[in-house]
Amino acid sequence: MIKRIPALLAAIAALVSFGGAAQAQSFFEGKTVRIVVGLGAGGGFDTYARVIGRHLGKHIPGNPTVIVDNMPGAGSILMTNHLFKVAKPDGLTVGHFNGAIILGQVLGQKGIEFDARKFEYLGAAVKENVVCGLTKASGAGSIESWRAAKAPVKLGGVAPGATPDNSGRILNAALGLPVQVVSGYKGTSAIRLAAESGELAGGCWSWESMRATWRKGLDSGEVIPVVQIVAKPMADIPNVPLAISLAKTDDARKLILVGVQNSSAFARPFALPPGTPRDRVDMLHKAFHATLQDPAFLAEAQKAKLSIDPVTGAEMNKLVADVFTLDAGLLAKLKDALYQK
């Protein structure tokens, strides 16, 4: 333990190291790869990037140094614009942003100056499997009692376009569940707190995160997973109904698919700027997915309770491209569901 202190001091005080072999065997040798996170230090996106960043270097030929930076702003639009327009496509910059803005681009969200179809995706470490958790105290602890609720059931939201907001609104539009999304909470932790104090009935966000942070409520039965907006049930809650199977019409199913379910795979993308040389993209893609299987990485991820459920670059490319081919009618319905009062 104590021997780490000098190492730390050395790292902090470390001055110039004019490294760099004259003849690099691989492009990446002696270089520094930056993972730029579009959200603040300490958050979920940041943590995934940092844990991956610690192991990524050893899987890239030439073993470059990998560091993680934050460029927060505008819900990661700022960084994503930067990735598209400014960052050099040399394979040394990897962006990590909130994939919700991809749907935002399709729906004409303001401030977006990138084209999500042009990024070179490395994929994702995890999908966002949305589950709605409601408190027992709210009286809407099952689909039946929720449907029968007299007043709209209040679900916490962050801002239009965010996962908790989209999920609540889609449930309302597709399944006709009485829902009032109260938007403006500063993240799912604030929603959780408001639900515990009785201000809200609950909220919908990634099951992995809910399971970890709301453990006690779920174990004690104070908080109940009522519906899951995923393709197949999560392993530990096999009996909680799927939103898609509650849908009665084809339109409703499509809304659930496009509005929540399909976006789960590109919710947390890692991407390279457009025009990055093919061989470097391939090298990084291979390294990224090798990292996700690296036992040392998995041990750290497990310690941090980060679940790993990889999405490949090819899968992501396809899902992103699909969003851009929606027909106008569905698009209008989606926009209506997600952004109208």
Q: Residue 242, Cβ neighbours under 10 Å: how many?
A: 17
Shortest spacing between CB 302 and another protein, in angstroms: 8
Quote the tokens at residue 118: 């042009």
Quote the tokens at residue 20: 């760099």
- Which of left, alpha, beta for 176 (phi over 0: left; psi -120 to 50: alpha)? left
- Cβ distance to another protein smaller for residue 154 or 333: 154
Shortest spacing between CB 161 and another protein, in angstroms: 9
CA distances from 294 to 68, 291, 301 (A): 19, 5, 10
Quote the tokens at residue 274: 């457009």
Site for another protein, rule CB under 8 A: 1-2, 4-5, 8-9, 11-17, 32, 34, 36, 40-44, 46-47, 50-51, 54, 67-75, 77-78, 81, 109-111, 154, 158-160, 180, 182-186, 189-190, 192-194, 196-200, 212-213, 215-216, 300, 303-306
- Cβ distance to another protein smaller for residue 47 or 317: 47
- Cβ distance to another protein smaller for residue 13 or 21: 13
- Cβ distance to another protein smaller for residue 154 or 254: 154
**Could you tell me where the DSSP H helices lie in 86-229?**
100-106, 143-148, 163-175, 188-196, 207-213, 215-220
- Cβ distance to another protein smaller for residue 50 or 285: 50
Quote the tokens at residue 335: 């926009």
Quote the tokens at residue 25: 């065997």
CB 170, CB 259: distance < 8 Å: yes
Shortest spacing between CB 241 and another protein, in angstroms: 27
- Cβ distance to another protein smaller for residue 73 or 178: 73
- Cβ distance to another protein smaller for residue 217 or 313: 217
**Tokens 């515990």, located at residue:** 196
* Alpha-carbon gap, residue 144 to 301, rounded angstroms: 37
CB 75, CB 159: distance < 8 Å: yes
Q: What residue type is 5 in one-letter code? A: I
* Alpha-carbon gap, residue 187 to 150, rounded angstroms: 28
Name residues whose C-beta falls within 8 Å of residue 336's C-beta, 6 or more positions apart in sequence: 173
